[in-house]
Structure 1
Amino acid sequence: MSQTLRQHAEQQFAEELEELKKADNRERPENWVLSPWAVAEYLMGGTLANGFQVSAKYIGNRRLMETAIATLATDRALLLFGVPGTAKSWVSEHLAAAVSGDSTLLIQGTAGTSEEQLRYGWNYAELLAKGPSKAALVPSPLMRAMEQGKTARVEELTRIPADVQDTLITILSEKSLPVPELGSETQAVRGFNVIATANNRDKGINELSSALKRRFNTVILPVPASEDEEVSIVSKRVAELGRALQLPGEPPALKEVRRVVQIFRELRNGQTEDGKTKLKTSSATLSTAEAISVINSGMALAGHFGDGVLRAGDIAASLVGAIVKDPVQDAVVWREYQETVMKERSDWKDLYRACREQN
């Protein structure tokens, strides 16, 4: 077993990608590892003609994934947009792995991301010794993707300052990156494209210019449509992370996963699932990713400090940290939910008592 805490998608699912290559007899865009059909099969999962089972990486609307894949086969870049926790980065990584066989050409957007990080930098020792030269140039992941005909990823595009964002305009429209210091340019090889992600909840968002927006086709990733869908996503990811982290103890009971998902959905939507009770909403995002984290933390507690069986007390400790981000406003929301919803559910008495103890 690999000692790597988290493998890249193309490493973790190497067997699936290899089986898809063998079964894939459809037309592939130049420099793509798989055809668009096979990329969709990799993302959505299914059974191949030889009986090999491909696991689902994305549980949701297949047409959304087909639209994203089709975009990458054109000259338009792809922008995955949505609220936090809707699997934008997850989908971006798996798309790059299936299209290019390489998900590592990544630029992480922050308020401090500079133009050089998007374009190229310099080896200053080489630069001072010999002046500007190809040897002194340090290509960015974006520049390497252009040279190799691969997919580059830009995470949290709207966190990057607006003037730096606009560095992408020439790259996406002209498919070239000028290097004026050398009097040359890097022209993109066929197969090159960009997947960017952005969410609309972060503080300090830098709106994309209209010129940059036109270079992207936007695919909005929604929160899971139903409770069953979200439970399925959480259960799958918890099992995968449990194996990767080698957490002791048993896999969580479906009942416990469903309770966490229901709490998150109700506080997120401002009403109980049956629509009968209106609720105050928390300032926390309460995303699917947060629900996965709550269950994993509970499993760690149960495995290391209990008998290995996930119980209400293990979940309660993590629920408070996920829901109460504002110690005043969210504490009121959480107490009200316990008294008006949890207390009234006969099969939630254990969780209600455990949460009260945490308070």
Structure 2
Amino acid sequence: MKSKSSKKKYWLYTLLIALILAINSAVYSDISVDDLKVEYANEHSKFIEIDGMQVHYRIEGEGFPIVLIHGTASSLHTWNAWTKELKKTNTIIRMDLPAFGLTGPNKSADYSIKSYTTFLDQFLNQIAIDSFHLAGNSLGGNIAWNYAAEHPNKVDKLILVDASGLPTNKPQPAVFKMAKTPVVSNLFLYVTPKFFIKKNMKEVYADDTKIANDLVSRYHKMALRKGNRQAFIDRARMDFKLGSKANIDKLKSIQNSTLLIWGAQDNWIPLDNGKRMDSVMQNSKLVVLENSGHLPMEENPEESVAILKDFIEIR
């Protein structure tokens, strides 16, 4: 018969083995950009060098340009449905921002809004686009309205989809808190299970049934792109708070005709933020999508793109 001491050791060893197996099953190696290109680049994909980065972008369609900017941990693929519709009447330009998608990290690890607006201007200058509608979601929306404030003559109409840039008056999403915690963030560089990605997607979608397996796989694989996990941590640690007054003053300065599209069920950047943006901007219109979360262009693309088309008067 086993002693109590032996039984205790047995259960400790069992627990240790279970923990090791759990960690091993959640450890994912980096994926090379060349391997990801096979699956996530297509005939429209191009690469352009900016500050040592090979920036992945696509230009599709003909007509007046619309530039689309994705949010944190996303990629240009978030605009697939919008692009399919809008390229019938317009030239659609989208890119993977530094730190994300196939573009990956920049050498300076500077992911401030100023760095992003500078990057956007460099990118648009290199592809010779100087007049366009500008749309952005979340972080991309933050970049878009800051860019419009700095380059008002280049932007015709501005479209902000659940844009960041004002305090949310609620705790940060757990994934950002984790990235700011030293021990946890170091673990994130190796332990990035697929279920963790799906959990975060459930936070930004209003309807979980719309989260398809291939969608989760794309977000997961893009997160594993070599350098992207460290870049996400660096980006999450950036302090975007210039102070609410500074941001409000900058928002007030924007004269461009602006459409605010907001998911009523956005748990990351709540509808109240959209209402506050609308109240301080000089020439804005807020449209609320009752059945959308943080990513209306993914979750309800037909409804959200119809609102955009009406705003820019596509018939």
TM-score (ref. length: structure 2): 0.26
Question: Whose radius of gyration is greater, 1 or 2?
Answer: 1
* Greater relative CO (CA pairs within 8 A, separation 6+): 2
